Amino acid sequence: MNDNKNAEAYWRANLRLILGCLVVWALVSYGFAILLRPMLSGITVGGADLGFWFAQQGSILFFIALIFFYSWRMNKLDKQFGVHEE
């Protein structure tokens, strides 16, 4: 019973983490780079605007950071809940 509860809590923590990461994932690509670009057009970045920078550089850099952040957090959660591999 205790084991089941533990496993369920682990899975819920994973889902929360995924949701948080996917919000950032959507914000830097669909948000800043596409839909919100007109609102950010006032901020110039070297001959273009912030939305253009996110579309061609920023989104990719954020994607990398997101995966490493997720891996680091999950590997910690694995140990915390005792479901990591030996």
**Binds other proteins by CB under 8 A, chosen from 9, 23, 39, 48:** 48
CB of 1 or CB of 52, closer to other proteins:
52
Q: In the complex, what is the shortest distance from the CB of residue 42 to other proteins, in angstroms, rounded to a whole number?
A: 13
Collapsing DSSP to helix, strand or coil, 81 comes out as: coil
SS3 string, 5-53, reads HHHHHHHHHHHHHHHHHHHHHHHHHHHHHHHCHHHHCCCEECCEEHHHH
34 contacts other proteins (rule: CB under 8 A)? yes
Q: Which of residues 49-78 bind other proteins (CB under 8 A)?
A: 49, 51-53, 55-57, 59-61, 63-64, 66-68, 70-71, 74-75, 78
Contact 17, 59 (CB under 8 A): no
